[in-house]
Every structure is written in structure tokens, then in C-alpha cells.
Amino acid sequence: MYEFILLNSTFHEIGPTTLNVDFEIGTAKDSTNDFKLDTNIINKTNFYGLYIEGTELGGILNIDESTNVTDLHVLNGLTWRGMLTKHIIEPPAGEDYKVVSGDLNTIIADLIADFSPLFYAASTPAGATVTNYKINRYVSALEAIDKLLNDNGYRLKLTVNKSASGQAIRIKAEAIAQTVLRGVYNNDLYIPMLYTKDNSGYNHIIAAGKGDLKDRQIVNLYLDQDGNVTTTQHFFGLDEKTYFYDYSSVESIEELEKEATTKLKEIANKKVLALSSTDSKDKRLMSLEVGDVIKCVFPGGDIIDAPVIKKIYTVQNGNIVTQIKVKGEE
């Protein structure tokens, strides 16, 4: 049975209790990273936050809805990931970007160094390093960390383990895990899946950077039959679909190529997977964390990688029911 530990405004523990709470936890771009509960406990304590030891579940209250009809309060709050969306990463004074190098966990420690002392990065190396990696300008700490890790085959792991020093929320980089599902009819796991192939996308991008007329920076990039970005054209005539990308604020041709690559991948043909699963259907899927990947193999040879973008946790009577959502699912 899972119990919540309640926190007061100074983050001291009030005590354990059983509550019914709904959490949404996911990436910066795809999740609200918040929670909601109905309770009358706020009338009895200086209730400010909550967590379940050894999990990511928890956060800080920020909305309290109540009426004079009942003592029941509807409470809303931000999860620990949600709190990271409130911290903005700025470039150093006089610099265009914050540029980082080193082990991923060391960089995470740097990105949250001037944030709440509740958060701390794992001291052990992640096992992956970057050199001169540019953090996007004025993004949240969660978005910066998500992108840094995803670009290098890793994902974010948060765990609450309250210590005597006051540090509680450990952040670390973990390698992306992958599980394989075969999209056959009447599959043994009974996981409903909807697979959509969208061939309306583009396979050629013309990216225009700074400059005027004939002096303007121009980059042409193409997709090959396997979806790889190249500088060689592979589709012609009716098969060629071209997109013009105006990016005049770019600083260099290298940055223009990088942004054009990202944009072309966004507007290309898509394979979209929607699935519905709870921990009552497949424990194997529920062990996946936000950022992990489900590889689905369909009859005919189509393969799609579907990243887990959010998890929905329903905590009731000390039990937790989990749902997963993958990229492309509404």
C-alpha cells in the first residue's frame, strides 16, 4: 500500500496519509505535469505539498478551490517535473547560448544549480558525455534537460528520497529503454492499437537564412526512401514535395542546417501509433518510463518507434493504476 507524506510550507513532514490523487507526468512539450485531488485535509493541517517515497509521484499545491457548502477542497498542483518548467535557462551575459560539455548528470547539476535546493542531480556519471552542446535560449529547465538527454539517447528519471540535508528530488539521466510489440490481430496482450500512415508530408526543404537576394544563405536538404536526411535529392516530379523555411534570425550556416534538419523531420511523412494500455493489461509496458520507446512491428513489415510522452497515475486507496500515452496519440 502506498502512503503520501504531506509537507508544510517549509517542506517539513506533517505525516503520512492515504489520499486519492490523479497525476500526469511527461515531457515538457506533451504533458501538463500536474496533479489534482479532492480532500478536506487542508482544514486540519498546513498542507503545502505531498510525495510518495521512492517514486516520482508528488509535487507542490498551487490552486485551492472551495465553497461554503462543504468542507471539501479541490486542490491542484505541479508535479516535480512541473516545478522544473518554472525555471528558465538563460544564456550567460554577453553570450548567445549556454554551451555545456561533460557527463550528462554533471550538466544536469549545472542546469539546476540555482534552482530549489530540494532538487539535486545524481553524483554518479551517466556514462554519456557531450562537447560544446548548445542549450536553446530561454527555455525551461525541463525542456532543456529533455532535449539534451533525448538528443543523446537518454531520458530523465526523477525519484523522491528525502534526506536529512533537505535534498529530496534526485534527477538523473538514464539510457532509453525499448520494448517490442507485434501489431497482430487478437494479440495475446490485448492492447488496442491504431496505426496511421500519413504520406502528405514533405521530402525536400529549402531553408533560407540571413542575407538578401542572391547573398541570402540557402540550404537544400532531402529525405531518402528510409527517411534519412541527406544533401542528395531522391524524389522527383510528382513525388517531390518541397517546403520553404524562412529562418532569417539564424547566426550561422551550421545552425541553419541543424534547424532545417529538425524542421524537415517534423514535416515529413509520418507513421503514427495510438495505443491504450494500463498496468492491468501489460506490466512490461508499465515499467517503461517517460522517454522510453515502444517499437511496434506490423504485418507487412511496417515498423514504428513510439516514444512514451506521458504517464497517467491514479492513486486510490493506497493503490496505483498507471496508463501510458505515446507520441502521436490524442
Q: Are residues 284 and 241 in the same domain?
A: no
**Which among 81, 98, 116 is the end of a domain?**
81
Q: Are residues 63 and 130 in the same domain?
A: no
259-279 CB burial, b ≥16 within 10 A, e <16: bbeebbbebbebbbbbbebeb
Phi, psi dihedrals of residue 199, rounded to the nearest 5°:
-100, 25
CA atoms within 13 A on the CB side of 1: 9
On whether residue 41 sits in a domain, the answer given is yes
Residue 16's pLDDT is 82
Contact 105, 68 (CB under 8 A): no
Q: Are residues 108 and 160 in the same domain?
A: yes
Residue 276's pLDDT is 57
| 267-325 tens-digit pLDDT | 998 776 666 555 545 566 667 899 998 887 776 677 777 888 999 999 988 888 888 88
Sign of the dihedral defined by the CA atoms of residues 186, 284, 51, 32, in that order: negative
On whether residue 260 sits in a domain, the answer given is yes
Q: Are residues 243 and 288 in the same domain?
A: no
Q: Are residues 155 and 219 in the same domain?
A: no
Helix (H/G/I), strand (E/B), else coil: 149: helix
Instruction: State the CATH number of the domain containing residue 118.
Output: 3.55.50
111: CB partners within 8 A, 6+ apart: 89, 100, 135, 141, 144, 145
On whether residue 316 sits in a domain, the answer given is no
Exposed/middle/buried for residue 296 (C-beta within 10 Å: 0-12, 13-18, 19+): buried
On whether residue 146 sits in a domain, the answer given is yes
- Which residue type does 201 have? G
Instruction: State the CATH number of the domain containing residue 278.
Output: 2.40.240
Domain coverage including residue 47: 4-81
Q: Are residues 192 and 231 in the same domain?
A: no
Q: Are residues 244 and 134 in the same domain?
A: no
Helix (H/G/I), strand (E/B), else coil: 260: helix
On whether residue 241 sits in a domain, the answer given is yes
Contact 175, 156 (CB under 8 A): no
Q: Are residues 20 and 126 in the same domain?
A: no
Q: Are residues 123 and 228 in the same domain?
A: no
Q: Are residues 102 and 65 in the same domain?
A: no
Closest CA relative to residue 11, chosen from 163, 129, 215: 163
Sheet holding 204-208, edge to edge: 229-230, 218-223, 204-208, 242-246
Count other Cβ atoms within 10 Å, centred on residue 49: 23
On whether residue 51 sits in a domain, the answer given is yes
Residues with pLDDT less than 70, the chain = 40-45, 63-72, 163-166, 182-195, 272-286, 299-300, 328-330
Residue with C-alpha cell 496482450? 189
On whether residue 144 sits in a domain, the answer given is yes
Q: Are residues 225 and 291 in the same domain?
A: no
Residue with C-alpha cell 497525476? 23
Contact 63, 77 (CB under 8 A): yes
On whether residue 315 sits in a domain, the answer given is no
Rg (CA), the chain: 23
Q: Is the pTM of this model over 0.85?
A: no
**Domain count along the chain:** 4
Q: Are residues 165 and 227 in the same domain?
A: no
Residue with C-alpha cell 554518479? 124
